[in-house]
């Protein structure tokens, strides 16, 4: 495995290019990924980010690295909204739902745990929460103030971006220039406490109606959002660690500000490799509430997205995601999902067929080269779509052998089987779902379709439609044709 570890190449967002991966300590990796903010259910786009980092984590483990994977939970703090304002989203959700902030946090924590289980994601090594690390956040803020990169106003503390820019490059990660930012950011008004528009809150003085408040050297208040990640990553991974990841939307300002805080307190960029996962499109458009193409990860499983004609299993959705590279766009369409469903079943069938094929004295194709192509794909910045294509290449050979048009030796069969199982189950994180359900379902479906046929013969369209719609919700599409009714 050491040889494969040495071949790993990662696209580093900090440099804008792929580079060989060299960990700080040989054989060990510290990886931090920004986790969910518990004020609502994560949407499908957030899930894609978490699933992609799950893939990355799984492959690093497979390569034999000892990985400490920290993914935080934001359960308090002021998030920067699209208008550049810092708002307490958990507090706002609590007021809107007439619940305590902690009820909001626990409600969405349970939902997130459930999604993690359903989508077959490995739990991180540590999932620290922001509220467990208030003291650590206060200490880092004090250090930033001591170093001269932050100032206090009226019980709040802000990062002094202009002072920081005299010593460091603000924009090193995002490439954003402060003068360009000025044009797209609202101008400061008289009520603003910030001295400069690009300054951001490290600590916010509490409002009288805040449900969660902490004591600090500057009075009662709440932490800023960015400082949480700096405190938690430093505590568990040190001032410098190997990989920092998150969604593309976090590159600016969140990750840029994390770098500024680490440089402002400890004098170094926290991570050697910055990795960003891309967002989602639905039917060619960016997923957004305003476009009406917004859905939750559970809705695609129960068929209630209102966008697709049927439901899909979590394995099919996960397999669908693996067919796009983590840095590329992924477009959810009916056609692509249906194709993935077929592809996923074909892959699982291939694995089953491999079990049953007869071996011969020799092999008619190069198994070692095929297996090494699996590694080559993943070593090239975790290129899962190429890996999937190579797995289908293996299925093609398996089917040829099964039809008597190719051959495989006993040693090659066991090498191929072991590699395919590792890459399908352990790396891609796909569990086996077979047509066994379909076999068991067939007599039940005959009965249901008979009943529907009777209803139609009696012109009872309500019952007939009720059966069709109910089946569609369960992911089964009924099609009526001249020569009979089919389902799939």
Q: Site residues (CB under 5 A) for Zn ion?
A: 34, 229
What is the helix (H) or strand (E) element at residue 301, kind and residue range?
helix 299-302
Contact 367/415 with Cβ under 8 angstroms? yes
Cβ closest to Zn ion, residue 224 vs residue 303: 224
In the structure encoding, which two tokens stand for residue 212, read together?
Answer: 């969660």
Cβ closest to Zn ion, residue 33 vs residue 317: 33
In the structure encoding, which two tokens stand for residue 451, read together?
Answer: 């009943």
Coil/strand/helix, residue 186: coil
Q: C-beta of 258: minimal distance to Zn ion in Å?
A: 6
Residue 16 Ramachandran class (φ > 0 left, ψ -120 to 50 alpha, else beta)? left
Cβ closest to Zn ion, residue 231 vs residue 408: 231
Cβ closest to Zn ion, residue 221 vs residue 224: 224
What is the helix (H) or strand (E) element at residue 202, kind and residue range?
strand 201-205
What is the helix (H) or strand (E) element at residue 246, kind and residue range?
strand 241-247
Q: C-beta of 348: minimal distance to Zn ion in Å?
A: 36
Q: Based on the number of CB atoms within 10 Å of its own CB, is 112 exposed (0-12), middle (13-18) or buried (19 or more)?
A: buried
What is the helix (H) or strand (E) element at residue 453, kind and residue range?
helix 436-457
Cβ closest to Zn ion, residue 91 vs residue 270: 270
Q: C-beta of 419: minimal distance to Zn ion in Å?
A: 36
Cβ closest to Zn ion, residue 40 vs residue 453: 40
Contact 369/348 with Cβ under 8 angstroms? no
Contacts of range 370-375, beta carbons closer than 8 Å, 24 or more positions apart:
370/394, 370/397, 370/416, 371/415, 371/416, 371/419, 374/419, 374/423, 375/4, 375/7
Cβ closest to Zn ion, residue 224 vs residue 350: 224
Q: C-beta of 177: minimal distance to Zn ion in Å?
A: 23
Q: C-beta of 25: minimal distance to Zn ion in Å?
A: 23
Q: Based on the number of CB atoms within 10 Å of its own CB, is 21 exposed (0-12), middle (13-18) or buried (19 or more)?
A: buried
Cβ closest to Zn ion, residue 140 vs residue 348: 140
CA dihedral 16, 121, 78, 270 (to 10 degrees): -40
Q: C-beta of 35: minimal distance to Zn ion in Å?
A: 8
Q: 241-247 and 28-33: which strand pairing?
A: parallel
Q: C-beta of 245: minimal distance to Zn ion in Å?
A: 10
Coil/strand/helix, residue 27: coil
Q: C-beta of 129: minimal distance to Zn ion in Å?
A: 13
């Amino acid at each position: 495995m050491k040889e494969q570890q040495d071949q790993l190449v990662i696209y580093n967002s900090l440099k804008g290019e792929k580079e060989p991966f060299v960990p700080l300590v040989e054989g060990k990796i510290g990886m931090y990924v920004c986790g969910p903010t518990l004020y609502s259910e994560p949407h499908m786009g957030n899930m894609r980010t978490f699933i992609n980092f799950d893939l990355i984590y799984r492959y690093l483990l497979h390569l034999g690295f000892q990985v400490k994977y920290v993914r935080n939970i934001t359960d308090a703090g002021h998030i920067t909204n699209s208008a550049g304002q810092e708002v307490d989203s958990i507090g706002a959700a609590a007021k809107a739902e007439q619940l305590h902030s902690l009820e909001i946090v626990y409600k969405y924590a349970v939902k997130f745990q459930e999604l993690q289980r359903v989508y077959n994601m490995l739990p991180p090594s540590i999932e620290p929460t922001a509220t467990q690390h208030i003291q650590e956040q206060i200490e880092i803020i004090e250090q930033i103030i001591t170093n001269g990169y932050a100032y206090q106003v009226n019980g709040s503390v802000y990062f002094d971006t202009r002072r920081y820019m005299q010593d460091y490059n603000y924009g090193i990660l995002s490439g954003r220039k402060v003068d360009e930012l000025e044009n797209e950011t609202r101008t400061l008004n008289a009520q603003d406490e910030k001295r400069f528009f690009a300054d951001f809150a490290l600590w916010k003085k509490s409002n009288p109606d805040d449900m969660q408040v902490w004591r600090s050297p500057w009075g009662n208040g709440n932490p800023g959002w960015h400082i949480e990640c700096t405190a938690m990553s430093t505590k568990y991974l040190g001032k410098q660690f190997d990989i920092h990841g998150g969604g593309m939307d976090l590159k600016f300002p969140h990750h840029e500000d994390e770098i500024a805080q680490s440089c402002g307190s400890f004098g170094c960029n926290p991570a050697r490799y910055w990795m960003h996962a891309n967002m989602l499109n639905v039917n060619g458009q960016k997923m957004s509430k305003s476009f009406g193409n917004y859905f939750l990860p559970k809705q695609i499983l129960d068929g209630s997205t209102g966008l697709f004609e049927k439901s899909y299993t979590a394995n099919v959705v996960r397999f669908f995601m693996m067919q796009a590279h983590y840095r590329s766009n992924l477009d959810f369409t009916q056609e692509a999902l249906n194709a993935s469903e077929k592809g996923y079943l074909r892959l699982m069938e291939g694995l089953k067929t491999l079990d049953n094929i007869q071996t011969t004295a020799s092999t008619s194709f190069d198994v070692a080269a095929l297996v090494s192509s699996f590694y080559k794909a993943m070593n090239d910045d975790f290129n899962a779509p190429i890996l999937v294509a190579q797995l289908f290449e293996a299925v093609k050979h398996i089917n040829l052998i099964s039809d008597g048009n190719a051959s495989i030796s006993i040693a090659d069969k066991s090498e191929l089987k072991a590699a395919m199982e590792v890459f399908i189950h352990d790396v891609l994180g796909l569990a086996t779902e077979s047509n066994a359900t379909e076999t068991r379902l067939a007599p039940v479906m005959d009965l249901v379709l008979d009943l529907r046929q009777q209803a139609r013969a009696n012109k009872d369209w309500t019952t007939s439609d009720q059966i069709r719609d109910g089946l569609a919700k369960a992911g089964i599409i009924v099609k009526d044709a001249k020569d009979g009714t089919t389902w799939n």
